[in-house]
A and B are shown apart, each in its own frame.
Chain A
Amino acid sequence: MIGGLFIYNHKGEVLISRVYRDDIGWALISSTGGRSRRNAVDAFRVNVIHARQQVRSPVTNIARTSFFHVKRSNIWLAAVTKQNVNAAMVFEFLYKMCDVMTAYFGKISEENIKNNFVLIYELLDEILDFGYPQNSETGALKTFITQQGIKSQTKEEQSQITSQVTGQIGWRREGIKYRRNELFLDVLESVNLLMSPQGQVLSAHVSGRVVMKSYLSGMPECKFGMNDKIVIDKQGKGGTTDDSGKSGKQSIAIDDCTFHQCVRLSKFDSERSISFIPPDGEYELMRYRTTKDIILPFRVIPLVREVGRTKLEVKVVIKSNFKPSLLAQKIEVRIPTPLNTSGVQVICMKGKAKYKASENAIVWKIKRMAGMKESQISAEIELLPTNDKKKWARPPISMNFEVPFAPSGLKVRYLKVFEPKLNYSDHDVIKWVRYIGRSGIYETRC
Chain B
Amino acid sequence: MPAVSKGDGMRGLAVFISDIRNCKSKEAEIKRINKELANIRSKFKGDKALDGYSKKKYVCKLLFIFLLGHDIDFGHMEAVNLLSSNKYTEKQIGYLFISVLVNSNSELIRLINNAIKNDLSSRNPTFMCLALHCIANVGSREMAEAFAGEIPRILVAGDTMDSVKQSAALCLLRLYKTSPDLVLMGEWTSRVVHLLNDQHMGVVTAAISLITCLSQKNPDEFKTCVSLAVSRLSRIVSSASTDLQDYTYYFVPAPWLSCKLLRLLQCYPPPEDGAVKGRLVECLETILNKAQEPPKSKKVQHSNAKNAILFEAISLIIHYDSEPNLLVRACNQLGQFLQHRETNLRYLALESMCTLASSEFSHEAVKTHIETVINALKTERDVSVRQRAADLLYAMCDRSNAKQIVAEMLSYLETADYSIREEMVLKVAILAEKYAVDYSWYVDTILNLIRIAGDYVSEEVWYRVIQIVINRDDVQGYAAKTVFEALQAPACHENMVKVGGYILGEFGNLIAGDPRSSPLVQFNLLHSKFHLCSVPTRALLLSAYIKFINLFPETKSTIQEVLRSDSQIRNSDVELQQRAVEYLKLSSIASTDVLATVLEEMPPFPERESSILAKLKKKKGPGAVSVNELEEGKREGGELNGGGERGDNSAIAASNASTPSPSADLLGLRTGPPVTAAAPSAGSLLVDVFSEAGVNDDGFLRDLEPPTESSDSLLAEGPGDSDSAPPSVVSEDPATPLPESNELLNKFVCKNNGVLFENQLLQIGIKSEYRQNLGRMYLFYGNKTSVQFITFTTTVTCPGELQSQLNVQSKPVEPLIEGGAQVQQVINIECLTDFSDAPLLNIKFRYGGALQNLTLKLPVTINKFFQPTEMASHDFFQRWKQLSLPQQEAQKIFKANHAMDTEVLKAKLLGLGMALLENVDPNPENFVCAGVIQTKAQQVGSLLRLEPNAQAQMYRLTVRSSKDTVSKRLCELLAEQF
* Residues of chain A at the chain B interface (Cβ within 8 Å): 10, 52, 54, 74, 339-343, 357-360, 382, 384-388, 390
Contact = CB atoms under 8 A, between A and B. Distances in A.
B34 A382 contact: no
Contact of B45 (A357, A384, A388, A390): A384
A342 to B, nearest CB: 4
Contacts of A387: 73-74, 76, 106-108
Contacts of A10: 24-25
Given A343-B42, A360-B38, A387-B74, 8 more contacts: A10-B24, A339-B73, A340-B73, A359-B34, A360-B34, A387-B73, A388-B73, A388-B74
Contact of A342 (B25, B42, B73, B76): B42
Nearest to A385: B74
Contacts, number: 51
B68 to A, nearest CB: 11
B73 A341 contact: no
B44 interface: yes
Contacts of B106: 387
B217 interface: no
A357 B35 contact: yes
Contacts of A54: 26
Nearest to B23: A10
A134 B26 CA distance: 35
Contact of B41 (A74, A342, A390): A342
Contact of A357 (B39, B44, B107, B108): B39
A169 B809 CA distance: 107
A48 to B, nearest CB: 12
B233 to A, nearest CB: 47
Contacts of B34: 357-360
B898 interface: no
Interface residues of B, number: 21
A358 B31 contact: yes
Given A357-B34, A357-B39, A360-B34, A384 B25 contact: no
B895 interface: no
B32 A358 contact: yes
B922 interface: no
A342 B38 contact: yes
B41 A340 contact: yes
A382 B31 CA distance: 20
Given A357-B38, A387-B106, A388-B73, A343 B45 contact: yes
12 contacts: A10-B24, A10-B25, A340-B74, A342-B41, A358-B35, A359-B31, A360-B38, A382-B45, A386-B74, A387-B107, A387-B108, A388-B74
A361 to B, nearest CB: 10
B2 interface: no
A384 B107 contact: no
Interface string B59-71: 0000000000100
Contacts of B44: 342, 384
B74 A384 contact: yes
Contacts of A382: 45
6 closest A-B pairs by beta carbon, nearest first, are: A357-B38, A388-B73, A342-B45, A358-B31, A358-B35, A342-B41
Interface string B908-952: 000000000000000000000000000000000000000000000
Interface string B5-40: 000000000000000000011100001101101110
Given A339-B73, A341-B38, A387-B73, A74 B45 contact: no
Interface string B90-120: 0000000000000000111000000000000
Contacts of A339: 37, 73
A388 B31 CA distance: 22
Most buried by A among B39, B41, B69, B76: B41
A341 B41 contact: yes
A359 B76 CA distance: 24
Contacts of A341: 38, 41
Contacts of B42: 342-343
Most buried by A among B35, B37, B69: B37
A74 B24 contact: yes
Contacts of B107: 387
Nearest to B108: A387
Contacts of B45: 342-343, 382, 384
Contacts of B73: 339-340, 386-388, 390
Contacts of B31: 358-359
A74 to B, nearest CB: 6
A342 B58 CA distance: 14
A110 to B, nearest CB: 10
A233 to B, nearest CB: 48
Contacts of B39: 357
Nearest to A310: B45
A74 B24 CA distance: 8
Contacts of A385: 74
A360 B31 CA distance: 9
B98 to A, nearest CB: 13
Contacts of B25: 10, 74
A358 B37 CA distance: 9
A387 B108 CA distance: 9
B50 to A, nearest CB: 14
Most buried by B among A10, A343, A357: A357
B111 to A, nearest CB: 12
Contacts of A340: 41, 73-74
A80 B39 CA distance: 43
A326 B107 CA distance: 58
Interface in B39-60: 39, 41-42, 44-45
A215 to B, nearest CB: 40
B866 to A, nearest CB: 67
Nearest to B45: A342
Interface in B103-139: 106-108
A332 B42 CA distance: 26
A56 to B, nearest CB: 12
B29 to A, nearest CB: 11
Contacts of B38: 341-342, 357-358, 360
A52 B70 CA distance: 12
Contacts of B76: 387
A174 to B, nearest CB: 47
A171 B106 CA distance: 69
A423 to B, nearest CB: 56
A382 B73 CA distance: 16
B48 to A, nearest CB: 14
B530 to A, nearest CB: 36
Most buried by A among B32, B73, B76: B73
Contacts of A342: 38, 41-42, 44-45
Nearest to A390: B73
Contacts of B37: 339, 357
A359 B35 CA distance: 8
A343 B42 CA distance: 6
Nearest to B44: A384
B106 to A, nearest CB: 6
A339 B108 CA distance: 21
Contacts of A384: 41, 44-45, 74
A152 B489 CA distance: 72
Contact of B69 (A52, A74, A388): A52
Most buried by A among B35, B39, B44, B108: B35
A358 B33 CA distance: 7
Contacts of A52: 69
Contacts of B24: 10, 74
Contacts of A359: 31, 34
Contacts of A357: 34-35, 37-39
A331 to B, nearest CB: 23
A342 B26 CA distance: 24
A339 B42 CA distance: 12
A358 to B, nearest CB: 4
A54 B26 CA distance: 8
A339 B74 CA distance: 10
A28 B35 CA distance: 41
